[in-house]
């Protein structure tokens, strides 16, 4: 008699992604910032249970296309708090896409941190980050963001205040 024993592959990335997506969904459904985003945009909290979220190789950390949130699998190496910070940012974009469905939005000509859709997303992202990791860490993140996007020194203070407006 031949006995075949199936072992669980400890490096099953698909299973890890599914577990993380489940944890993301549960977190969204219970997060006050996620609920606030829905409420302030006249969107029912049911949206948190239905917004499409998946992992896919990207040249960026996360993006939202037509209301579908896509996360780079490299994010799985980060803490869950950091993953959720990106999910909150993309949640704002998903709602923006639903609200603007069928209209052509060509705000992409503006510099990234001058686009209203990005400012709104970063404001909620930083609010979430402040609640989860503290104001110092949120401020540190914003400082790094401004440096990464080469915001001129004379504009940093105003841009930082704008991004941290909801904190």
Q: Domain limits of the chain?
A: 14-163
pLDDT higher than 50, residue 18: yes
The angle subtended at Cα 30 by Cα 24 and Cα 31, nearest 5°, is 80
**Which stretches of the chain are assigned E, i.e. beta strand?**
53-55, 62-65, 68-71
User: What per-residue confidence (pLDDT) applies to 9?
Assistant: 54
Give Cα 21 to chain centroid, integer Å.
13
| pLDDT bucket at 1, cuts 50 / 70 / 90 | low
Rg (CA), the chain: 18
The angle subtended at Cα 50 by Cα 94 and Cα 38, nearest 5°, is 55
Whole-angstrom Cα distance, residue 56 to residue 59?
10
User: What per-residue confidence (pLDDT) applies to 22?
Assistant: 97
Residues in the chain: 167
* pLDDT, tens digit, 9 for 90 and up, residues 71-128: 999 999 999 999 999 999 999 999 999 988 767 665 665 788 999 999 999 999 999 9
User: What per-residue confidence (pLDDT) applies to 72?
Assistant: 97
pTM, to two decimals: 0.86
């Amino acid at each position: 008699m031949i006995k075949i024993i199936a072992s669980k592959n400890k490096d099953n990335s698909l299973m890890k992604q599914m577990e993380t997506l489940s944890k993301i969904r549960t977190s969204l459904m219970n997060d006050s910032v996620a609920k606030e985003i829905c409420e302030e945009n006249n969107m029912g909290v049911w949206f948190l249970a239905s917004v499409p979220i998946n992992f896919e190789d990207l040249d960026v950390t996360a993006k939202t296309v037509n209301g579908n949130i896509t996360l780079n699998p490299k994010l799985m190496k980060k803490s869950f708090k950091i993953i959720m910070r990106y999910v909150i940012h993309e949640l704002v974009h998903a709602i923006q896409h639903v609200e603007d469905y069928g209209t052509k939005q060509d705000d992409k000509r503006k510099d990234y941190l001058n686009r209203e859709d990005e400012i709104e997303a970063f404001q909620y992202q930083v609010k979430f980050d402040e609640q989860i990791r503290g104001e110092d860490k949120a401020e540190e993140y914003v400082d790094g963001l401004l440096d990464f996007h080469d915001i001129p020194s004379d504009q940093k203070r105003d841009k930082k205040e704008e991004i941290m407006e909801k904190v």
